[in-house]
Each structure stands twice: as structure tokens, then as C-alpha cells.
Amino acid sequence: MEKGSTGTFLLISGIFFGLVSLIHLIRAVSGWPFIIGSWSVPMWASWAAFLFTGGLSAWAFRLRGR
């Protein structure tokens, strides 16, 4: 990949993971229930997903800045 398309990919990835991270944070703070079939997703899973996707977003933006 050329440098321009790599930068675009990292920008889109950073924005996408940042939005997903924000959604998980909102769910965790507000206490919204999330049920898949008969299984209720525990709140700690949203906190873990917030940290993980937030880290991926920060990593993408950091790589893009190089």
C-alpha cells in the first residue's frame, strides 16, 4: 500500500474504533442492558471492550501520526 492509502486506512480505523469505544462507555455508564438470546452480557464486558477498542483507536491514530 502506498503511504496515502495507509494513512486513510488508519484514520478510518481510528474513527471506527473510537466510536465503538464510545458506545461501550455509554452503555457501561448508563447501565443499558444488552441481551443476546437468553444471555445477558455482563457490564464488565463493556468496560473491557471500551478499554480494548479505545486502545485500538489510540494505536491507529498514533501510527497515522508517524
Q: What is the pLDDT of residues 3-43, one digit of tens each?
A: 678 999 999 999 999 999 999 999 999 999 999 999 999 99
**What was the pLDDT predicted at 50?**
98
As separate numbers, helices (DSSP H) first and strands (DSSP E) second, the chain gives 2, 2
- Please say whether the dihedral angle defined by the alpha carbons of residues 30, 28, 51 and 11, taken in this order, is positive or negative: negative
The pTM of the full predicted model, rounded to 2 decimals, is 0.85
Which pLDDT tens digit goes with each residue over 37-62?
999 999 999 999 999 999 999 999 99
